Amino acid sequence: MISSKYRALSAVTRLDSRLIRRSLISTQSTDQGIPPPLTGIRVLDLTRVLAGPSCTMLLADMGADVIKVEEVTRGDDTRSWLPPSAAVSSNSPKETSHLPPESAYFLAVNRNKRSITVNFKDPAGLEVMQRLVRTSDVLVENFIAGKLAGMGLGWEHCKVLNPRLVYASITGYGQTGPFREAAGYDVIIEAEAGLMHITGEPDRPPSKVGVAVTDLMTGLYAHGAILAGLHSVQHTGKGVWIDCNLFETQLAGLANIASNYLIAGKEASRHGTAHPSIVPYQVFPCKNGFLMIGAGNDKQFRLLAERILEKPELADDARFANNAARVANREALVDIITQVLQRHERDYWIGRFTGLGVPFGPINNIQQTFAHPQVGARKATVEVDHPRVGKVRMVAPPVTYNGKRMPVRRPPPWLSQHTKEVMLELGYSQNEIAELRARKII
């Protein structure tokens, strides 16, 4: 239990620390375009894997002090998802020698955070968490619905500790309904919420998307909802419980496909890279690679036929005279375009397409993607110093403000890197910290 003496001290120090943290907003240099807008906001991050960590990384990028709470011995599941991993430097801190290499997956979504480890199944660990709740503005968790409530850290418990708390729950299916206690996995939700049904070639089995897009979309929705929650607290003085889940996120992500069904009862199907209503609008093979071509109107199709393919007769052929005709004669037109494109290599066709106003793009592998001239011109990657592995290259925050990106202030943390630092901030003594470590509470 927290003593009355600590409660009194906490009330004062919490107020002082928030005033200090928030005052940094006015003194922050504007060299980065705008001062990080969430400076002074503390986020208690109880999430793992991708949806939750991607959400909290976005908050961290905007200046929030994100404290990532991890399991004491293993940490976030993705720490063990290797290879690939970053090679450990010979100059790595000695206290990290027992840790595995830093996995590329973990590094991707945990920059700008601090890591602590707490066993909050133990009463002493629960007290640590209660202190963190009292001093935080936001709590983000992705446990199965009801799990944290059973451990004394549900919304009903936390709003008593901190009535202004924004409490965001990220689950597979939401806090209510017959699936509320089911675990949420991106690939399962892709299947169950329609995305996999519309992904893949028409004559092949359904396919998952190449990256966990449902997780990432959920992280984006949760991040936006948290910003709205913080705004609400400013006006009402009352905290809010945010219920965000993969299933409803994926329903929203069906966009026009969902609307086609809800409005007109139209069932969807798989089209590979092709478009059901526009031709030509798909990937075509060249002699040594692939191009995505999207001639979405008659003007673009004429340019494609006359200036690029050098087959002007196609534009005047009644079978291809307008988009409706091209859709009706899709197979014939696709065969003609494919035969022409396979006469030359990809770079030849890139040269012919460039500058004419017909939408196109090469199908790049990942190496080619990061060699793209736009990546360098926009400084879309950033290199940070990691104390265990040296230089780490990662994708930069993708948004600029007045032409500048938010800074990467911290590399992704090693497991428990900031436990002592945060415990001292919470008012624990050196002896208390040592005792909790010996008991494997932290």
Residues assigned a catalytic role: 215
Q: Which helix (H) or strand (E) holds 385?
A: strand 381-386
Cβ atoms within 10 A of the Cβ of 97, count?
9
Residue reference for tokens 């208390």: 432
- Looking at residue 397, the DSSP 8-state letter turns out to be P
- In the chain, the amino acid numbered 10 is S
Q: Say if CB 254 and CB 194 are below 8 A apart.
A: yes
Q: What share of the chain is helix, strand, coil (3-state, %, to 5)?
A: 45, 15, 40
- Looking at residue 306, the DSSP 8-state letter turns out to be I
Q: Could you tell me which residues are beta bridge partners of residue 392?
A: 384
- Looking at residue 308, the DSSP 8-state letter turns out to be I
Q: Is 283 helix (H, G, I), strand (E, B) or coil?
A: strand
Tell me the DSSP string of 110-147. -TTEEEEE--TTSHHHHHHHHHHHHT-SEEEE-SPTTT
Backbone angles phi, psi at 136, to 5 degrees: -110, 155
What are the residues whose beta carbons fall under 8 Å from the beta carbon of 3, sequence distance 6 or more?
none
Q: What angle in degrees, to the nearest 10, is found between the helix axes of 213-236 and 51-61?
A: 50
Alpha helices, DSSP H, located in 273-387:
298-303, 313-316, 323-328, 330-341, 346-353, 366-370, 373-378
Q: Give the Cα separation of 422 and 116 in Å (integer).
A: 8
